[in-house]
Structure 1
């Protein structure tokens, strides 16, 4: 079985695959007479190809037990897909660049507290990998005509490996 090292999710590390949705470092300003703080323009929703429209969904992910094996990847060729957690919690993100799937270019990340992700159009990713408990996510993606989900079974599964500093392997 092949091993894929899990790394901390950061904006810089995830940039080839989309955007990290987080408040840290975000542009923000007060609105509504100073009673609300607006964190502005956190991710680009890209869903209009082929007449697509924006959907807002709620996904409820069941927790996965460690060790995690990766045997399936998927992509959405006609639009981006954003996952925004509704509570602080740990989950894993496994991605590969858009285009022809190459397992040698897969990367895995662990999230920190309230981080969300916005997968760019066509980026390969594993379905939700919640840890610890049932986890709810707001998901913003594409609705409309045309096939927008390609799934790929991997020839051999990969096992995720964690750095000691990730504190997830315990």
Structure 2
């Protein structure tokens, strides 16, 4: 079985695939008479191609057993897709660049919870990979008449590995 090394989710590392949605380092300012802190423009939502419109959804992800094997990927060719966790629960992100799928270009990231991700239009990604507990995410993506989800099954599974070859463990 092939393995894929996990990386910590950071803005710099994830930039080729979209945005990391987090408060650390975000532009922010006080609003509402100083009673609220606004963290501004956290992700580039891109959903209007071919008459698309934004959708706001809640996804409830079941925890995945460890170790995690990746057997499929998907992409949304007409719009971005943002996942914003509602609790500080660990989850995993597996991505590959937009275009023709190349398993050798897959990358895997782990988040300890308060970071969201916004997959850019056409970026290949694995569906939600929650760990530990049932986890809720607000999801902003594209609605419209055209199909907007391509799925593929990998020729062979990839096992996610964590910290210099050790299997991901709780």
Q: What range describes the TM-score normalised by the shorter chain of this pair?
A: over 0.9
Shift of 1:132: 0.4
Shift of 1:147: 1.2
**Which residue of structure 2 lines up, in the alignment, with residue 47 of structure 1?**
47
- The CA distance in 2 between the partners of 1:133 and 1:71, in whole Å, is 22
**Which residue of structure 2 lines up, in the alignment, with residue 135 of structure 1?**
135
Q: Does 1:156 align with 2:156?
A: yes
Q: Does 1:19 align with 2:19?
A: yes
TM-score between both structures, scaled by the size of structure 1: 0.97
Count of aligned positions:
169
Secondary structure (helix, strand or coil) at the match of 2:88 reads coil
Cα pair distance change 1:140/1:40, threshold 3 Å: same
Secondary structure (helix, strand or coil) at the match of 1:152 reads strand
**Which residue of structure 2 lines up, in the alignment, with residue 71 of structure 1?**
71
| Contact kept? 2:95, 2:107, Cα under 8 Å | yes
Secondary structure (helix, strand or coil) at the match of 2:16 reads coil
Secondary structure (helix, strand or coil) at the match of 1:12 reads helix
**1:117-163 CA deviation, whole Å, 9 max, x = no partner?**
00000000000000000000000000001110000000000000000
**Which residue of structure 2 lines up, in the alignment, with residue 29 of structure 1?**
29
Q: Does 1:89 align with 2:82?
A: no
**1:2-31 CA deviation, whole Å, 9 max, x = no partner?**
000001000000000000000000000000
Structure 2 portions without partners, runs of 5+: none
Shift of 1:168: 4.9
| Contact kept? 2:20, 2:117, Cα under 8 Å | yes
CA RMSD, aligned part only?
A: 1.3
Shift of 1:167: 10
- The CA distance in 2 between the partners of 1:157 and 1:124, in whole Å, is 16
Structure 1 portions without partners, runs of 5+: none
